[in-house]
């Protein structure tokens, strides 16, 4: 390997920016995969210590929240797709926390906000 092969081509600055972009995307991917692994590990650990009834309540609440979140999602998917997706995921998260008791008001608030835009 000659010394010139290790040196970036000064006439081609795109090569350096491409390398920097590849390194940044690799780091981002590593972070995302680490977070996903952490969440899966936490879910497995929690599932081992929780009863089936508690797990069913979480899953049912998440599903109920997602169903409630479909209302503001369909209202806003043409007007503001980003806010519509935020509404859907917020309602699903609210459903996980308190079930339909929190997911339904969250969906109503998002539907009003999206409809007024």
Summarised one tens digit per residue, pLDDT across range 49-85 is 778 888 888 889 999 999 999 999 999 999 999 999 9
Q: In degrees, to the nearest 5, what angle opens at C-alpha 56 toward C-alphas 69 and 40? A: 80
Largest CA distance in the chain: 68
Summarised one tens digit per residue, pLDDT across range 88-112 is 999 999 999 999 999 999 999 999 9
């Amino acid at each position: 390997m000659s010394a010139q092969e290790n040196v970036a081509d000064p006439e081609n600055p795109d090569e350096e920016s491409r390398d920097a972009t590849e390194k940044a995307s690799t780091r981002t991917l590593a972070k995302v995969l680490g977070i996903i692994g952490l969440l899966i590990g936490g879910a497995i650990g929690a599932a081992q210590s929780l009863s089936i009834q508690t797990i069913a309540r979480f899953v049912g609440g998440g599903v109920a929240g997602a169903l409630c979140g479909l209302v503001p999602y369909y209202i806003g998917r043409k007007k503001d797709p980003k806010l519509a997706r935020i509404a859907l995921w917020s309602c699903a998260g609210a459903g996980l926390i308190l079930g339909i008791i929190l997911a339904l008001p969250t969906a109503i608030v998002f539907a009003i906000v999206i409809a007024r835009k």
